[in-house]
Structures are given as structure tokens and as C-alpha cells.
Structure 1
């Protein structure tokens, strides 16, 4: 199993997970043309995709979903609440039930209910039988269920959206600050670090920091908070950026323990 980010942040999100010939696109928050270009940079044509999984209906996650799905005849998986919020019309939508796993091709997927200001949002854990990859962003609070679902993963693509002091002093209006920092908003650097502290990390070899705010955070602040919790950890800490995303990461090659801080320098 391997994965990459086509871009992560408030201007658009899309993540690819691949196992054999199964290729899943989690969210598509870019225009159709930008998505095609980003896929090409990752060495893929949209025709090679198996399906699109949607976490929730916010535009930075769904902007390109409908056009991509229609043009390339791709099935789209989402919760019933997300489908209602989107008014998907004639789109071929497969419903995700939050109380059961689903299997697409060679991957088993656990949908994880998360607290976020959307209709029925979820995040995902992917399992190929040998390794588990957790994807977690757009979450305002770490719940016991989240801690349980992400314990024991081999790799974690984890939101560290904002630094509380930067958010408080930043340019957002008070209502938006309250939303981002609220229980249905996003994870702060400290909350992301808290999740890492609370989960079983015995299999964890790889953490990619994602969805970093360009206005309310800095990569080095996020990496600093997580590094503090991971002191002595023999794994890789990486950064998914808004424009460059994150290149392919192969989970089968993560047994070679080394720690790499790939900050924004």
C-alpha cells in the first residue's frame, strides 16, 4: 500500500491511496483541470482511479468531485448526510454507513465518525491485510472513538491545522476564529500531538502532518509540537503542503527506521 497527497490545506485537499490496482481518491477539492494536472504529476491518469471517497461537503474537499466523477465514470462514496448536503442529483453515489467497514477492490476501509461542522462527516482507516493507514483531518475534537480507531496504525496522515496563538492574533473575523478553534472545527497542533500521545504507537512508523493553515500556523510550529511527543520515536515525520502535496509514500518500505524532519526549508 502506498499513498500521496495531491495538496492539503484550506485551498483544496485530495489524497490518493493505492493497493495493487485499487486506487482511491479521498476528496477532490481542486478544479477538474488542476486535479488532472496533480494526478499526472503523481504518475496517474484519472482513468486509473477506482473510486472517489468523500469525507464531507465543504468546498475545499468536494470542488472537483462531481465533474471528475462524471467525466471519468467514477463511483463516489459518501455518507447519506453528506449526500443530502450536496444534493448530488444523478451522480452515482454509494452510501457509506458509519457503523460498518466497506471493501473496495483490495482495500478494507473503516469510516470513522468525526466532530466537524458538516452534515455527517467521516474520516478513514485503510487496511490491506498487512498494514493500516489512518487519514484524519477536519476534526474539532479527539473523541475516544477516534483514539480507538487510529490506535495501532502503521502510518498516519494527520491534520495539525492551527496554532492557537496565531489563530487568536490572526486576520480571521471572530466568528471564523471561534469556528476553526471550536469543538466542530479543526485540530490544533497541540490536539494533533495529544492524539499521538493517546494512541497505541507500537506499529507507527510514519506520520505526515496535513491541512496546515497558511494564515494561522507555520510548518515548524506543527512539526515542533509533534516532535516533542515523538521524542525517541524511530519513524518518519513528513509534511503535506498545499501546493506540492506529498510524494508517494510506500508503507511496505517503512520498516527501515529513520527519523526525517522535512520541514519547509
Structure 2
């Protein structure tokens, strides 16, 4: 099983999990053609697409993706996207209840963001084990005390870097306030990871790093020091083996 990053950040988010015979897409915030490229044209093997929340950089192309296969999102997310739940290829994602998308077993949990019913995912497949996927949230209220093989987690900013961006006029004050209130900082990312069972974790991938308020190299080094695990940055085109 591999995962390809189509995009990670405010300009658009998307990830393709796939092996030779099946695939699962996470987020539809980049044009569908990029997913087709990662799949080398074999869209027939896609079992579905998971969406965390309604913002355009995560769900902006939801109608494109739904033309080809089922899209799974919470009722609140679909409503904010102007879509009626459980119609055509739009499937309502339940919270805290496992469901299958092909051979992928998925469980969604609530997150803390400024949208209706945002969520994160626990995804299991026998070829990769268990993946934890968390993005666009101020914090996580849960402790994941089961072995996690792969972690994809938002590490958006530090409060100090946000303050500096505001002071230097890079971003407006209100944007800085929202960044702190709705996205996961480096400190909270590390706290979340330390509350997880990382005994079986093979890699940690930092996603949705802010262009203005983040520092990829520093974040990578800090998380590696805090967890003792290999850490990667989700850049466009990154392909990672999930063994």
C-alpha cells in the first residue's frame, strides 16, 4: 500500500491510498485530474473518497469526485456543501461507528474546527495496518490507546510564528486569531502524539503546515525529538510506502 500526497495546505488537500487493485481517496480539495494522475488513469479501482469537512481546500471539488464514486462525509459537511445527504454518490459518514469502503475499515471521530461536523478518521487495511488521519482542528479530545502504524496529523503553526506574521503585516489580526483557534499548533500536535500509542508506529507525516506561520524543518525536528519516530512532511507528490 502506498499513499500519494496531491496537496497539503490552504491551496488544496488530497491523498490517494492505493495498492494494485483498490484505492481510497482522502479529501477532494484538489482537481480530480490530479487524483486520476496519481492513479495512473485506473479510477475503476477507487472504492470511495473520505472528506473531513466542508472548507474549499478540502471539499472544493466534491462534485467532481462524486461523479465517479461514492464520497463519504458527515451530514453537516454535506449540508454546508449544499448537498443532500444519501443522494446519488453522497454517503453520510457516521461518527464512532465502523463502516467499510471496499476493504478499508473506517471510523470517524469529531474534531474542533469552524464548520459543521468536522471529523478525523481511523483507517484500517490489512496491507498497512491502522492509520490515524487528523487535520484542521484546534485539538483532539481523545486518547488513541491502541497501536497506530501510520499517523497523518496537522502541524499548522506555532503561536509565536502567528504573532510574528501579524506584527509584520503578513496576515491580518483576525486571520491570526482564527489560525490559533481552529488549527493545530506544533505544541498541540506533539501533545496529541504523546497521548497516542506509538509503540507500533512506523512513520508520522505532518500535514497542512501553514505557509506563513509554519516551519517545516523545525516542525519535523521537534516532532522527531518528541516521539523518536521517522517524520515526513506532506509535500505535493510525496509517495510513501505504508508497509
Deviation at 1:203, TM superposition (A): 0.6
Q: TM-score, normalised by structure 2?
A: 0.89
1:159 match: 154
Partners of 1:91 and 1:59 in 2: CA distance = 21
2:164 match: 169
Contact 1:163 1:221 in 2 (8 A): no
Structure 1, 86-95 or 196-205: larger mean CA deviation: 86-95
Q: Does 1:109 align with 2:109?
A: no
Structure 1, 41-50 or 202-211: larger mean CA deviation: 41-50
Match of 1:78 among 64, 70, 73: 73
Partners of 1:41 and 1:53 in 2: CA distance = 17
Deviation at 1:200, TM superposition (A): 1.2
Contact 2:16 2:35 in 1 (8 A): no
Partners of 1:223 and 1:59 in 2: CA distance = 27
Match of 1:132 among 130, 133, 145: 130
Q: Does 1:181 align with 2:180?
A: yes
1:255 match: none
The 3 A distance-change label for structure 1 pair 85 and 41 is closer
Partners of 1:236 and 1:172 in 2: CA distance = 32
1:256 match: none
Aligned residues: 236
Partners of 2:60 and 2:88 in 1: CA distance = 14
Q: TM-score, normalised by structure 1?
A: 0.82
Partners of 2:41 and 2:233 in 1: CA distance = 22
Q: Does 1:37 align with 2:34?
A: yes
Aligned pairs for 1:1-265 (under 5 A) are 1-18=1-18, 21-31=21-31, 35-37=32-34, 39-41=36-38, 43-70=40-67, 72=68, 74-88=69-83, 91-129=88-126, 131-143=129-141, 145=142, 147-148=143-144, 151-170=146-165, 171-182=170-181, 185-230=182-227, 233=228, 235-241=229-235, 244-247=236-239, 249-252=240-243
- Where structure 1 has 5 or more consecutive residues not aligned to the other structure, the ranges are 253-265
Deviation sequence 1:58-101 (CA, Å, 0-9, x none): 0000111212322x2x1111111111111115642111110311
Contact 2:6 2:34 in 1 (8 A): no
CA RMSD of aligned residues (A): 1.9
- The 3-state SS of whatever aligns with 1:224 is helix
The 3 A distance-change label for structure 1 pair 15 and 196 is same
Partners of 2:114 and 2:30 in 1: CA distance = 21
Q: Which runs of 4+ in 1 moved over 4 A?
A: none
Deviation at 1:38, TM superposition (A): 5.0
